[in-house]
Amino acid sequence: MDKIVGICFKKSGKIYHFDPGHFVLKEGDEVIVKTEKGLGYGFVATPVRQRNPTVAEQKLKEVFRLATEEDRRQYQENLERGRQAYEYCKERIETSGLPMRLVDVESFFDGSQIIFYFYADGRVDFRELVKDLVKKLRTRIELRQIGVRNKAKMIGGLGPCGRELCCSGFLGEFHSVSVKMAKEQNLSLNPAKISGACGRLMCCLKYEYTSYVEMKKGMPKVGKRVSTPAGPGKVIRQNVLGQQVSVFLDTEKEVEFPASQVSLEKTGQPEAATAESGDPSAPPNGLETEANEE
């Protein structure tokens, strides 16, 4: 139990840890594992590695076996069954006029259950829909409502950068994202520019946030009075990557200095508790302060 391997059950899905046992596994291998819901068909997402000794040990389920040709055939049949179930469910939703949008369908490896993922603005009475699905598919049915971030992850698409959505391409799970991350990176706080396809703050705002926080340590903040080689002035802009600050001097001249050449001006007066224009940490109207949806 000193080794673990990461297994996911769908593309860019959440990664679960299993005990590889005696199997020699590499990334991309197809395996059969035991889960709380029975046998599952998974893909090796992260190679076998030593457990982190600082993390409390927990009992992991073992990889049951390597996938066989018969397993692959059954897996493909489940995918086809899921596609047919999707079309039927979509047809019933439209016929019934239910205010919901079908996003994805998942069929269990042993065929014992089918899960329908849907998005809706509020609660939906889908009892009659469940009856129709059970009658048609002859198996256990579950309808699961998801949020907008999971909806974007399942549907996929292109982000403002022109690349595949991070959530669809490689993110296994969502992390908390806040407006503060955009502010620390000197990004525009225009909601249209920092929101993703889901309408929430872009996941990529988190990628470089910690680096910006580290680089900004020791740099004078915007609005602070500073002393420079050219005289006193007020910081009006930061160039974090270049480690430089733009200062509007008392001589009404703007000059850029390396951050190491400026220092806070000692006035002997305590700093104001709040900014003149209000709370500088408050987000602009209409912009969410955090996106953290499972």
For residue 240, the domain's CATH number is 2.30.30
Are residues 78 and 128 part of one domain? yes
Q: Looking at the domain assignment, is residue 204 inside a domain? A: no
| pLDDT for res 282 | 46
DSSP per residue, 83-104? HHHHHHHHHHHHHHT-S-EEEE
In a domain, 184, yes or no: no
Residues 52 and 100 in one domain: no
Mean pLDDT of 7-11: 83
Q: What is the CATH number of the domain that holds 108?
A: 3.30.300
For residues 96 and 122, membership in a common domain is answered with yes
State which of 20, 41, 67 marks the end of a domain: 67
Domain assignment present for residue 39? The answer is yes
Q: Are residues 127 and 99 in the same domain?
A: yes
More confident of the two residues 1 and 254: 254
The whole-chain average pLDDT of the chain stands at: 84
Range name among 5-9, 100-104, 170-174 with the lowest pLDDT average = 170-174
Least confident residue range of 16-30, 85-99, 200-214: 16-30
Are the C-beta atoms of 9 and 42 separated by less than 8 Å?
yes
pLDDT at 271: 47
Residue 277 burial (10 A CB sphere; 0-12, 13-18, 19+): exposed
For residue 12, the model assigns a pLDDT of 65
Q: Is the pLDDT of residue 267 over 90?
A: no
9-18, 32-41, 146-155: the lowest-pLDDT one: 9-18
User: Has residue 284 got a pLDDT over 90?
Assistant: no
User: Is residue 156 included in any domain, yes or no?
Assistant: no
Q: Give me the pLDDT at residue 70, please.
A: 93
Beta-bridge partner residues of 65? 32
Considering the domain architecture, whether residues 85 and 115 belong to the same structural domain is answered as yes
- Reply yes or no on whether the pLDDT at 89 is more than 90: yes
Rounded CA-CA distance 187/210 in Å is 15
Q: Does a structural domain hold residue 122?
A: yes
Condensed to tens digits (0 to 9), the pLDDT of residues 101-148 reads 999 998 888 888 899 999 998 888 999 999 999 999 999 999 999 988
What pLDDT shows up at residue 277?
A: 41
Q: Per-residue pLDDT tens for 202-245?
A: 999 999 999 999 998 888 888 899 999 999 999 998 999 889 99
| Range of the structural domain that residue 79 is part of | 73-146
Q: CB-based contacts of 44: which residues, under 8 Å, 6+ apart?
A: 5, 6, 7, 25, 26, 27, 28, 29, 30, 31
Domain count for the chain, please give it: 3
